Amino acid sequence: MAFKRDKQQIQDILTLIEEYDEALAEIASQPQRQQESAAGAIERLSAKELSNILRGMDVENINRDKLGIRVASLRAAGIENMEQLCALTADQINAVKGIGDEAAMLIYTLAGRIRQETAAGLKVRVSLDDRNEDASLLLLAARASMQTSDAARKARALWEEYHDAVQAAYLDAKPAASSLRWLVTPSEKKKRALDAALYLYGLLEGEYGDGVRAAMDAYDARELLDADTVWEDFQKHSAAYYAEFDRLDRVEGTLVDNSYSGLPEELVLQVEMQPIYTDGLHASLRAYQEFGVRYILRQGKVLLGDEMGLGKTVQAIAAMVSLKALGATHFMVVCPASVLVNWCREIKQFSDLSVTPIRGGDQMAARRWREQGGVAVTTYESVSRFALPESFSFSMLIADEAHYVKNPAAKRTQALMLLRRKAERVLFMTGTPLENRVDEMCFLVSCLRSNIAGELKEMKYISSAPQFREKLAPVYLRRTREDVLSELPELIEKEEWCEMGPAEWKAYTLSVAAENFMAMRQVSWDVDLKHSSKAKRLLELCDEAKEDGRKIIVFSYFRETIRAVQKLLGERALEPITGSVSSAGRQAIVDDFTRAGDGTVLICQVQAGGTGLNIQAASVIIFCEPQIKPSIENQAISRAYRMGQLRSVMVHRLLCDNTVDERILELLREKQDIFDSFAEESTVGSEYLRAEKSISAAIIQMEKERLAAEELPKE
C-alpha cells in the first residue's frame, strides 16, 4: 500500500506503531518475568531441600570438631537431628538441662554455621516422584521461557534498536493525524510530521515490521501447558528443562556452579566471553557443557577430562558446529574402533554436520572427506594407513579416549602426533582420571602445550596441590558428576553401538537365514571372543569402571552369553547368578560382590538377577543385548539404582549396528505403551507371549529382506 499522507492512514500508522512497540516491550520482558516466577519456586524448593537434608543429619554433627558438646543432653530433650537444633534460639538451647550459657551460645553458633554451609551447596531437585506445587511452577516457568526465548531475544534487539527513534517519530507525526491540530500547526512542523509519518510507514513496511510480526507470531504460537501436561513434557525432554534451569538459576544466583572446576577467575572470565554458535546443533547444552564448549574454542588445544557420563561427545560436536558457523569445513575424530559407530551416530543425531567414516586404509573415503568436508571419523589403528597431502590442513582434530596414546613409542601415538600438526585446533578427551598419573598427564599435555608440560614436570611432587592444578588450568578441564549433576536423577544411560566384523556378520546371516530369533539376539556373542565387537567394548567398559573405582553388573538373557562373558572376564568376575542358583546362593554371591574390590564384575542372567536382590555395591550396569520386555530391564536396573545407592549409576547397552538389536529398539520405542501394559498383567502372560512371537516374526522378515539387498562384508 502506497503512502497517501491522508489523516486516516497516518492515524492507522500511529495506532499500529503503538501496538508494535507495546508488543515488543511485552515479549522482550518475558525472560525476566519467567525468572521472577521461577525465583519464588526455587527459593521454596531450596528451603524444602535444606529442611530434608538437615532432618537427615544426626545431631551428633554439632560435635564434629570434638569440642566436648553434650549431645546426650540434647537427645534427652528430644533433639535428634540438625533440623530440630537449627530451629532453636540460643535461649531455647540454654533451657536444655545440662547445657550452660557458654555451651548454648557455642551450639547456636555452630548450628547456624552448619545450616549456612549446607544451604550454600544446595541444588534444586525436580523429581517425578515429588510433583509438588512449587516444582510445577518451576517447570511451567522453564517451559514458558524455552518457548519465548527466541521471540524475546529478537523483540529485545528490535526494541533496543528502534524504540527511541520510533517514539520520537511518533510524537512528531501525531499532529498529522488530527484535523484540528493540523490546521494550527506551523508549516515547519507539518513537514516534520509528514516526514515522521513517512519514516514510520517505511518501518512498518520494512525489516522492522517484518521482525515485529515474526516475533508476535512466534509468541502467539507458544503452546500453553497445564501442570499435569508439563510434567509429561518434562519426562520426555528433561535435558532441555535442566538446561533452562541452569539459565534461570544462573540469573537468580540461587545455585552453586561448579562448571569451572577450580579454574583461575581471570581464565573463567576470558572463557565466558568466548562466543559460541549453535545453529545446526540439535541438543540442549547444560551450563557446564556450554562452558566446556567455550573453553575448547577459547583455548584451542586442550584436554577435556570430564568424568564418564557428562557429555564430552556432545561438547565436542557443539564445538565443531560453532566453528562451522565461522567458516570451518573439515574436522576429524580419532577414536577406538569400538566406538566409531557411536561417534557417527551421535554426530548425525546431534548436528547437521556430514560424517565420513574412514576404516583402515580407505583412500577413497579419505579423498571424499577432503573434497566434501564434514567430519571424518577414524580409528587409532587407521590413522597411519591412509595418507593426507602434505599441504592439507583441517580445522579441528578430536582424539577420544586420549589415554590410548600415552606411550610415545607406540605407532598409533606417533601417527596421531603427525596428524596433529595438520590441525588448527586439537581436543583430547578422556574420562579416565589422570591426576594420579602425572607422567601420562605430562605427556598428553606436552602434545598440546609443550611449555606447560615442561613446568608441570618440575612440579610433579606436588601434583595434588592447588599450584599444580592452576598450572594445568589453561589446558585441562575436568568436572565430576558430583560437581555438576547433583540435581539430576543419578541414572545415566548410554547406547554402545558396536561395528561387526566379517566373522560376526557370517554367523548373524546364518541365524537370520535359519529364522532363529534367539540365535539372532545373541549376535556377536556366538563367535570366537577375539572376533566379538561386543566383547571388546565390554572389556573397555569394565576397565574404565575399575579406573573410576566402580563395580559392574553384566546382564544377559542367555546362558550361552553368560558363559562367554565369564570366560572373557576370567578372575575379575564372580560366579554367575543364573536361574539354577538357589536364593541363598544368590545372596551369598551378592555378599561376596559387596566385599570385593573395585572393578569386580557380577554376571547375572537378567531373569534371575533382576528381582529380589539388592546390589547397591555396583554403579555400572551393562546389558549384553536389548531385552524384549522393558519391565525386565527396568527391574534389573533397579537392583543397583535404589535407596542406599551412594553413586550415580551408569547403564550401558551393547548393541550391534544394523542388526536385530536395532530392530528391537525401534519396535520398543514405537510400542512402549503396549509393552508397559503387558508388564502390568504378567511377566509370562499369554498376551505378552503372543506379542513376543509376533515381534520375532516381524523382525526376522525385516532382517531377511534387508540382508538380501546388502553384501556381506568381505574377509
pLDDT score for 574? 94
In angstroms, the CA 693 to CA 697 distance is: 6
Helix (H) or strand (E) holding 482: helix 481-484
CATH 3.40.50.300 fits 491-708, yes or no: yes
Least confident residue range of 22-26, 402-406, 462-466, 580-584: 462-466
Fold of the 262-484 domain = Rossmann fold (3.40.50)
pLDDT tens profile 342-375: 899 899 989 999 999 999 889 999 999 999 999 9
Q: Cα-atom radius of gyration of the chain, to the nearest Å?
A: 31
Reported as a pLDDT band with limits 50, 70 and 90, residue 558 is: very high
Which letter does DSSP use for residue 533 in this model? Answer: H
Count of CB atoms situated within 10 Å of the CB of 595:
9
- Kindly give, in sequence order, each residue whose CB lies less than 8 Å from that of residue 42, ignoring residues fewer than 6 positions away: 124, 138, 248, 249, 252, 254
In angstroms, the CA 420 to CA 531 distance is: 31
* 675 has pLDDT over 60: no
Residues of the chain with pLDDT > 90: what percent?
31
Reported as a pLDDT band with limits 50, 70 and 90, residue 559 is: very high
How many CA atoms lie within 13 Å of 40's alpha carbon, on the beta-carbon side? Answer: 10
Select from 420, 388, 428, 385 the least CA-distant residue to 404.
428
| Contact status, residue 540 vs residue 338, Cβ threshold 8 Å | yes
* 239 has pLDDT over 60: yes
Residue 621 burial (C-beta neighbours within 10 Å; 0-12, 13-18, 19+): buried
Cell, residue 346: 551421535
Q: How are the residues of the chain apportioned to helix, strand and coil, as percentages rounded to the nearest 5?
A: 60, 10, 30
Select from 627, 652, 666, 702 the least CA-distant residue to 545.
652
More confident residue, 610 or 566: 566
| Domain edges within the chain | 1-256, 262-484, 491-708
In angstroms, the CA 332 to CA 354 distance is: 11
Find residue 428's DSSP bridge partners. Answer: 303, 399
Least confident residue range of 160-164, 310-314, 456-460, 498-502: 456-460
- DSSP states of 14-72 as a string? HHHHHHHHHHHHHHHTHHHHHHHHHHHHHHHHHHHHHHHHHHTSBGGGGGTT-----HH
pLDDT tens profile 600-636: 999 999 887 655 566 777 889 999 999 887 767 877 8
- Kindly give, in sequence order, each residue whose CB lies less than 8 Å from that of residue 198, ignoring residues fewer than 6 positions away: 3, 5
Cell, residue 629: 520386555
pLDDT score for 55? 87
Q: Which residue has the cell 540438625?
A: 82
Instruction: Using DSSP, state whether 251 is helix, strand or coil.
Output: helix
CA angle 271, 273, 275 (to 5 degrees): 100
* 551 has pLDDT over 80: yes
Distances in Å between the Cα of 671 and the Cα atoms of 38, 110, 676 are: 36, 56, 9
Kindly report the length of the chain.
715
Query: How far out from the chain centre does Cα 449 lie?
Result: 28
Model-level pTM?
0.53
Least confident residue range of 78-87, 161-170, 475-484: 475-484
Cell, residue 345: 551416530
Average pLDDT over residues 291-309: 91
**CATH topology of 262-484 equal to that of 491-708?**
yes
Instruction: Using DSSP, state whether 620 is helix, strand or coil.
Output: strand
* 151 has pLDDT over 50: yes
> Phi, psi at residue 127, to the nearest 5°?
-120, 140
pLDDT tens profile 437-453: 677 888 888 899 888 87
- Kindly give, in sequence order, each residue whose CB lies less than 8 Å from that of residue 246, ignoring residues fewer than 6 positions away: 286, 287, 288
- DSSP states of 190-209 as a string? HHHHHHHHHHHHHHHHSHHH
Reported as a pLDDT band with limits 50, 70 and 90, residue 205 is: confident
Distances in Å between the Cα of 608 and the Cα atoms of 47, 210, 215, 272, 603 are: 42, 64, 57, 51, 11
Q: Which amino acid is at 465?
A: A
Instruction: Using DSSP, state whether 186 is helix, strand or coil.
Output: coil
Count of CB atoms situated within 10 Å of the CB of 631:
16
Per residue in 336-365, is it b (16+ CB within 10 Å) or e — as a string? Answer: bbbbbbbbbebbeebbebebbbbbeebeeb
Mean pLDDT across the chain, nearest whole number? Answer: 82
